[in-house]
Amino acid sequence: MKRRDFIQKTAAGSALVLGGLSLSSFAEPPAKKITILHTNDVHSHIDPFPVSDPKYPNMGGAARRATLIESIRRENPNVLLLDAGDIFQGTPYFNYYGGELEFKLMSMMKYDLATLGNHDFDNGLQGFLAQLPHASFEFVNANYDFKNTILDGMIKPYKTFIKDGIKIGIFGLGIELKGLVDPTNYKETVYNDPLKVAQDMAKTLRHTEKCDLVICLSHLGFMYNNEPTKVNDLMLARNTKDIDLIIGGHTHTFLNKPYIEKNIDGKEVLVNQVGCYGLNLGQIDFYFEPGKMSSKGRIISV
């Protein structure tokens, strides 16, 4: 559109409005709402725990999770459903079907994106690749270099979504595989420093892709009391910028509400993790309004 036409059309629009001006037409467009739903470390838990289970009696279950997701979707049109890894391993469903059912059910629930956890390598790179056709959603990871493996080109570093005009960028980070996963299962996969990669990713998503919301799907772990120097989600939040939300996994940490950490610039970063085994579904709603970044404070009610 030429600039002159553009102004004219805008002016015409203004004129039309002037004709039937009412108080309500001055109201700002309603705030937009993006709902992030997330799971982590579901570990092939498809059936609910038995009623007799000493720890999680009658909790979890994929069919119940699907009901909850559906009811949230009915109220909220702009949902992104994410998983932070370790989809595989933990019940005979995985031993018998290698992850096929996990991926198929997640596809039926309309998961949008996931990242890889260490246990997703348990049947080797070949085992993961064989199940990928059963997933209608994609996987992201930015710090594993799969160049010399059969997963080359299958895993993107990040993916962007546009929901109601809001652009959301999501990248993935994975834990160091050495010492955690049998080398025959990850082969030539190269692990790169998550902090450095995260900073590059966040910059790309915020400034090149111009995302309104930058999310990291991490399988690094929330924190390690016995190994304070081991890279974790809180360290990631503190040492980077441009990330709004880190959805974590690996440590099976049950957070009742997201942890709020300050990044390098002193801006809040939310870090969340909802335990394991599909016992919980995390939900974070981001509201967007037109206006300057710095004109008003941000309300975080968690």
Euclidean distance between CA atoms 154 and 189, whole angstroms: 13
| Collapsed DSSP state (helix, strand, coil) of residue 270 | strand
Question: For residue 26, how many C-alpha atoms fall within 13 Å in the half-sphere facing its CB?
Answer: 3
* Member of 54, 133, 153, 179 binding another protein (CB under 8 A): 179
Near another protein in 97-126, by CB under 8 A: 97, 101, 104-105, 108-109, 122
**What's the distance, CA 9 to chain centroid?**
40
- How many residues form the binding site for another protein (CB under 8 A)? 84
23-82: contacts with another protein (CB under 8 A): 25, 28-29, 31-32, 46-48, 58-68, 70, 72
**CB-nearer residue toward another protein: 183 or 193:** 183
* Residue 162 or 190 having the CB closest to another protein: 162
Cβ closer to another protein: 152 or 287? 287
Considering only residues 125 to 154 of the shown chain, the ones binding another protein according to CB under 8 A are none
Q: Are 250 and 115 in contact (CB under 8 A)?
A: no
**Rg for the chain, CA atoms, rounded:** 21
Tell me how far apart the alpha carbons of residues 132 and 164 are, in angstroms, rounded to a whole number: 29
Length of the chain equals 302
Chosen residue from 8, 193, 227, 287 binding another protein by CB under 8 A: 287
212 binds another protein (CB under 8 A): yes
Q: Which of 13, 53, 147, 193 binds another protein (CB under 8 A)?
A: 13
Check binding of 210 to another protein (CB under 8 A).
yes
Residue with tokens 């809040």: 268
